[in-house]
Amino acid sequence: MTYRRLILISFILNCFLATATKAISEFGMTRSIPMVLLVMYGLGTLLAFGAMTKKRIEAKSLWIGLMGGFGTAVGMGSNMTAASILPGYQVFPLVNGGTLLLVALAGRLVFRERIGPHGLAGIMAGIAAIILLST
């Protein structure tokens, strides 16, 4: 599958995930979110175990998985805790916009990715859009 197709399908799936999260709060199930996430990651674990091609454990994959697991679970948990303490118009633009900026900076400075003027403008427009949509 080409890069564009992979990104497009991932984008559509993320649209579904983001909309379902909105639906959970619209249905008054905000307090059930930890349980929903527990089932979600549990099913993900089972599916990922079934899809494992190599059964011999690689230490580097374990560490990368730890980084990813920390990122997704602690990120969601902290984001929701912050939103319960501070107003959403402060939390969501800071977290969403800041994350995009940090990852774009890491791509450019750490991984030496080449970003053209259109790409740079697109990232800036994307960060501004995320900040505006989060408020």
Partner 1 sequence: MGYFYAILALVAFAVLGISYKMSDVLRCDKSQANFFLFLFAEGFMLGWVLIGRPEPITWSSIGFGISLGLAIFLSIVLFRRAIALGRISISWTIINLALIAPVLASVTVWHETPSPRHCLGFALTLAAIVLLGIDMGRAGE
Q: In angstroms, what is the minimal distance from the CB of 83 to partner 1?
A: 8
CA 126 to chain CA centroid, Å, is 15
- Minimum distance from residue 55 beta carbon to partner 1 (Å): 9
- Minimum distance between the CB of residue 117 and partner 1, rounded to whole angstroms? 8
Q: By C-alpha distance, which of 72, 64, 63 is closest to 14?
A: 72
Count CA within 13 A, CB hemisphere, residue 107. Answer: 13
What is the sign of the dihedral through the CA atoms of 106, 109, 115 and 118? Answer: positive
Q: How far is the CB of 73 from partner 1 (least distance, A)?
A: 4
Residue 57 phi/psi, 5-degree rounding, is: -70, 130
Count of Cβ atoms closer than 10 Å to residue 83 Cβ? 14
29 DSSP 8-state letter? -
Cβ 132 to partner 1 shortest distance, Å: 3
Torsion sign (Cα): 9, 18, 96, 130: positive
